[in-house]
Amino acid sequence: MLTAAYEARGALNWARGRGIFEGEGKTRKVTGPESDELREARDHAYVPLERLSTQAKVFATLQAAQFKIVAHFGTDAVVPIHDLLQAPGQISTAASMLLRYVETHNDDLARRAQQPIRDILHGDRPDDIDRKSDAAIKQLEAICKPVLAGKEPA
């Protein structure tokens, strides 16, 4: 379970990475006519969704682990898992909004309207998602590491 939490944090970091590699975003289904500029902007907006989908097994493993945690440590111990599992939804929502509302023009109003969405995806780090993920990992370590060392959990 602790390994799954570490993998989930890594997947969240990967999904929000600023670099875009050749071919990323190309699995997006085009729903209508797009200029080359609009297609490229939408493909870039799609990258976090694409990256999260490649890591779905990581989050499914974490989702399944929560039942074992409740059984062994009680309902309070599952809170950090819930915190980790909220982040993919936040990232997906932001990417979906940006994908839908991406603008091809760069006027000031459009940039200001999109900035909070872009900050969730590629803003300055560490941010709220990073801090919440790190706190969740620390809570899970406090629960799991003593057990792994043959002691009672904190």
| pLDDT tens digits for range 95-104 | 999 988 886 5
In a domain, 74, yes or no: yes
* Number of domains the chain is built from: 1
Task: State the angle between helix axes of 2-15 and 128-148 in degrees (0 to 180), rounded to the nearest 10.
Answer: 160
**Would the pLDDT of 105 be above 90?**
no
In a domain, 64, yes or no: yes
**Would the pLDDT of 107 be above 80?**
no
In a domain, 121, yes or no: yes
d(CA 80, CA 69) in angstroms, rounded, equals: 11
In a domain, 112, yes or no: yes
pLDDT band at 82 (very low <50, low <70, confident <90, very high): very high
Domain residues for 9? Answer: 2-17+34-148
**Would the pLDDT of 58 be above 60?**
yes
In a domain, 10, yes or no: yes
CA distances from 123 to 64, 65, 74, 79, 90 (A): 30, 30, 36, 26, 14
Per-residue model confidence (pLDDT) at position 130: 97
3-state secondary structure at position 111: helix
Per-residue model confidence (pLDDT) at position 63: 94
In a domain, 27, yes or no: no
**pLDDT (tens digit per residue) in 124-137:** 999 999 999 999 99
